[in-house]
Amino acid sequence: MTRQALKTGDLIELDQRVLPGCHLHRSALNDVARTEDLTFICTPKREDAGPTNNWMAPADAYARLGAIFDGSMRGRTMYVVPHLMGPADSPHSRAGIELTDSLYVALSMGIMTRVGRPALDRIDAAGDFVRGLHSKADLNPSRRFICHFPEEQTIWSVGSGYGGNALLSKKCFALRLAGPVGRREGWMAEHMLIMGLEDPDGRVTYMAAAFPSACGKTNLAMLEPPMSQMGFRVWTIGDDIAWLHVGDDGRLWALNPEAGFFGVVPGTSQATNPNAMRMIGRDTIFTNVLETPEHTVWWEGMGVEPPSRGLDWRSQEWNPGSGSKGAHPNSRFTAPTRNCPTISPEWQNPRGVPISAILFGGRRARLAPLVYEAFGWAHGVYIGAAMASETTAAATGQVGVVRRDPMAMLPFCGYNMGDYFAHWLEMGRRIRVKPRIFNVNWFRVNAQGEYMWPGYGENIRVLRWIAERCRGKGQAVETPVGFVPAEGSIDFDALDIPAETRQELLGIDPAAWLDEAEAVEVFLRTFDDCLPTAVLAESEKLRRRLARQSAPALPASQAWQPTSTR
């Protein structure tokens, strides 16, 4: 199929001595990202999709898309791609079949999922599968739709070849369709990385983390500790999706249903993600990066000098003075999990791995401390529901606009998000040995707008505190928003961060948090009657704690007084 794709132009040959097994794909110019405005949940009742999803009645969707599909594959080859999500021997794995007229999609599915025999065996055993129908059709955005039919476990996607729209196993199946199934059956499908932190004694603490797209999930999942943190290591299980089940032991177990990584390329370098750099040196499909005259690849933020010329993602002559990007900002790598140098020996464990900590996070320049811990499960659900990220100039041209993105699931929750919050609360009742819930923020800036925290590999210092908290160690101070690390409990050695900045990194400003709590409540009330009262109750409790502490005009670092330590 690869040979075929090289003939049709779906793939472009790269230098196989430098990049063995690697190829380049260029998408249509208008087809470079997920299109949330063209993504629909097609349930009989609009309320079941909720206020955060686009909705279409199933009959209308079948008719509208059916007319576009009609004849759309004429003269093309249709690929039949049975795929299994999860390890072959796991009771939690599920199968799908995607029909597609895109060779690029078929090849990418071969990297991202377990295709062929294991899927067919599962379909035989289970008697069921998720039905995915995909056609590029004419790639016209006005005839582009991604429709989900939860009642029939069916996905129809037409008019796009972009991964998140067209690799139906990923966002469509493993999140939007699996979500409501999990709700019915008592498990969760989450937009989370899964990793293990091993300490010098060989103990591994498994964590799952949800951050909005483009907040560094892939980097954290493959983190390489700096020299100063010798003895610690990170094991990768997944970078995007977690299926979470309650085990017989009452713990929460996480499984990565995928078999590959579909990661953002720009910004990936030896400094930010050396393990990804090693991983994407072979067996990788690059999409929309720059092609050098030597038939290798380059992108902005690669950490090496740009070539003097090349072909940009649009296939146009490019040089460093062109004034445009060589690689598209959402250019991607598609690489098999088995090539990840930090892949955990447990990644195919049919049970998954037992989760001790759940991390939420986002990009907050001023508000959120580096890390804080929820007071308990319901408070953690509130923290997840209140999640938000601030836009960067690159994304929208507007800096600092807050976008609410509960549990990083806003574009991926296939049912009413109010019911989704209720499901989280219900899971808390089922999980006897609950993971602790944390919020992290690598993006806090000082008055000069400079990042106060170095991020990337140094984030391991925060993970270490989290792991210690999970073992009942790790000193913390109670603040109105949660427990923050006590003085000296995070290893800041060799970081050269002044004491004042350390305090500021962990400080909270009650007045700003009161404003935030109000904004969160306005957002949460959009879920009307579907919003569980327990979530609003957490909001009220937070406001009361903040009001007690509110003291005007104090610098952030001094604005709260510890009320107790643990």
For the range 557-564, what are the long-range contacts, defined as Cβ-Cβ under 8 Å and sequence gap of 24 or more?
557/500, 557/503, 557/504, 557/507, 558/503, 558/507, 559/507, 559/508, 559/509, 559/510, 559/511, 560/479, 560/480, 560/507, 560/508, 560/510, 562/477, 562/478, 562/479, 563/478, 563/479, 564/477, 564/478
Starting at the edge strand found earlier in the chain, the sheet holding 154-158 runs 54-55, 39-41, 145-149, 154-158, 130-135, 94-100, 79-85, 114-115
Closest CB to ligand OXD among residues 262, 375: 262
Closest CB to ligand OXD among residues 224, 240: 240
Closest CB to ligand OXD among residues 334, 539: 334
Residues 6+ apart with CB under 8 A from 265: 286, 289, 299, 327, 331, 332, 333
Distances (CA, A) of 491 to 74, 175, 463, 476, 556: 62, 36, 11, 14, 21
User: Residue 34: which of Mn ion, ligand OXD, none does it interact with, CB under 5 to 8 A by kind?
Assistant: ligand OXD
Closest CB to ligand OXD among residues 262, 483: 262
CB of 364 to ligand OXD, least distance (A): 19
CB of 243 to ligand OXD, least distance (A): 15
Residue nearest to ligand OXD (CB): 213
470: annotated active-site residue: no
Amino acid at 75: G
Catalytic residue, candidates 215, 413, 470, 530: 215
User: Residue 291: which of Mn ion, ligand OXD, none does it interact with, CB under 5 to 8 A by kind?
Assistant: none
User: Residue 145: which of Mn ion, ligand OXD, none does it interact with, CB under 5 to 8 A by kind?
Assistant: none
Closest CB to ligand OXD among residues 111, 535: 111
CB of 213 to ligand OXD, least distance (A): 4
* Total Cβ atoms within 10 A of residue 563: 12
CA–CA separation, 268 and 274 (whole Å): 8
User: Residue 176: which of Mn ion, ligand OXD, none does it interact with, CB under 5 to 8 A by kind?
Assistant: none
User: Residue 272: which of ligand OXD, Mn ion, none does it interact with, CB under 5 to 8 A by kind?
Assistant: none
CB of 436 to Mn ion, least distance (A): 23
Helix runs in 50-160, H state only: 58-69, 103-112, 117-126
CB of 191 to Mn ion, least distance (A): 6
User: Residue 101: which of Mn ion, ligand OXD, none does it interact with, CB under 5 to 8 A by kind?
Assistant: none
> Residues interacting with Mn ion, by CB under 5 A?
240
User: Residue 364: which of Mn ion, ligand OXD, none does it interact with, CB under 5 to 8 A by kind?
Assistant: none
* Total Cβ atoms within 10 A of residue 184: 10
If you write DSSP's letter for every residue of 301-324 in order, what string do you get?
TSSSPPPSSEE-TTS-EE-TTSSS
Closest CB to Mn ion among residues 41, 476: 41
Residues listed for the chain:
566
> H/E/C letters for each residue in 233-265?
EEEEEECCCEEEEECCCCEEEEECCCCEEEEEC
CA–CA separation, 85 and 87 (whole Å): 7
CB of 157 to ligand OXD, least distance (A): 15
> Residues interacting with ligand OXD, by CB under 6 A?
34, 164, 213, 240, 262
CA–CA separation, 408 and 404 (whole Å): 9
CB of 58 to ligand OXD, least distance (A): 26
CB of 264 to Mn ion, least distance (A): 9
Query: If DSSP codes are grouped into helix, strand and coil, which group holds residue 343?
Result: strand
User: Residue 164: which of Mn ion, ligand OXD, none does it interact with, CB under 5 to 8 A by kind?
Assistant: ligand OXD
CA–CA separation, 478 and 467 (whole Å): 18
Closest CB to ligand OXD among residues 204, 413: 413
Closest CB to Mn ion among residues 182, 307: 182
CA–CA separation, 102 and 150 (whole Å): 24
Task: Classify 54 in phi/psi space as left (phi over 0), alpha (psi -120 to 50) or beta.
Answer: beta
Pairing of strands 39-41, 145-149: parallel
Active-site positions? 215
